[in-house]
A and B are shown apart, each in its own frame.
Chain A
Amino acid sequence: MGNKTFIVEIKNLFKSYRRGNQILPVLKDINLDIDEGEFLALMGPSGSGKTTLLNLIAGIDRADSGTIIVGGIEITSLSETELAGWRAYNVGFIFQFYNLIPVLTAYENIELPLLLTSLSKKERREHVEIALRLVSLEDRMDHYPGQLSGGQQQRVAIARAIITDPTILVADEPTGDLDRDSAVEILGLMERLVHELGKTIIMVTHDPRAAKMAHIIMHLDKGVLNANPQNHY
Chain B
Amino acid sequence: MQILKIITKNALRHKLRTFLTILGVAIAILAFGLLRTVISAWYAGVEASSASRLVTRNSISLIFPLPLSYKDKIRQVDGVKLVSFGNWFGGIYIDEKNFFANYAVEPKGYLTLYPEITIPEDQKKAFLQDRKGAVAGRILIEKYRWKIGDIITLKGTIFPGEWDFVLRGIYRGRDKTVDESAFIFQWDYLNETLKKTTPLRADQVGWYMIGITNPNLAADVAVRIDKTFKNSLAETLTETEKAFQLGFISMTEAIIIAIKLVSFVVIFIIMVVVANTMAMTARERIGEYAVFKTLGFGGWHIARLIFGESLLISLIGCILGIVLTFPAADIFSSSLRTYFPVFNVATKTIYMDIGASVLVGSVAAVFPTWRAIKIRIADGLRRIG
Contact surface of A with B, Cβ cutoff 8 Å: 51-52, 55, 58, 60-61, 81, 84-89, 93, 95-97, 99, 101-104, 108, 111-113, 115-116, 121, 160, 177
Partner of B381, one of A88, A89, A99: A99
A96 contacts B2, C-beta separation under 8 Å: no
B298 contacts A84, C-beta separation under 8 Å: yes
Q: How many residues on chain B are close to A (CB under 8 Å)?
A: 24
A60 contacts B9, C-beta separation under 8 Å: no
CA distance A103 to B10 in the complex (A): 7
Q: For the complex of A and B, list the 5 residue pairs with the smallest distance between their C-beta atoms, beginning with the closest.
A: A88-B296, A103-B9, A97-B385, A60-B377, A99-B291
CA distance A51 to B379 in the complex (A): 12
Residues of A with C-beta under 8 A to B3:
115
Binary contact readout B276-298 vs A (1 if CB under 8 angstroms, 0 otherwise): 00000000000110011111111
CA distance A115 to B295 in the complex (A): 10
Contact surface of B with A, Cβ cutoff 8 Å: 1-3, 5-6, 9-10, 13, 287-288, 291-298, 376-378, 381, 384-385
Tell me if A's interface is mostly helix, strand, loop or mixed: helix
B384 contacts A99, C-beta separation under 8 Å: yes
Can you spell out 21 A-B residue pairs with CB atoms less than 8 angstroms apart?
A: A55-B377, A55-B378, A60-B378, A61-B377, A84-B293, A84-B296, A84-B297, A85-B296, A87-B295, A88-B296, A88-B297, A95-B381, A96-B385, A97-B384, A101-B288, A103-B6, A103-B9, A108-B2, A116-B296, A116-B297, A160-B295
Residues of B with C-beta under 8 A to A55:
377-378
Q: Determine how close the nearest CB of chain B comes to the CB of A115; give it in whole angstroms.
A: 6
CA distance A160 to B287 in the complex (A): 17
Partner of A113, one of B9, B287, B295, B384: B295
Q: Determine how close the nearest CB of chain B comes to the CB of A55; give it in whole angstroms.
A: 5
B385 contacts A101, C-beta separation under 8 Å: no
Name 16 extra pairs, CB < 8 A, besides A95-B291, A160-B295: A61-B377, A61-B378, A81-B298, A85-B298, A87-B295, A88-B295, A89-B296, A93-B295, A95-B381, A96-B385, A99-B287, A103-B6, A103-B13, A108-B2, A115-B3, A177-B385
Closest partner residue, chain B, to A81 (CB atom): B298
Q: Given A96-B385, A99-B287, A111-B2, does the pair A104, B9 have CB atoms closer than 8 Å?
A: yes
Q: Determine how close the nearest CB of chain B comes to the CB of A227; give it in whole angstroms.
A: 27
CA distance A43 to B298 in the complex (A): 31
Q: Determine how close the nearest CB of chain B comes to the CB of A204; give it in whole angstroms.
A: 13
Residues of B with C-beta under 8 A to A87:
294-296
Closest partner residue, chain A, to B385 (CB atom): A97
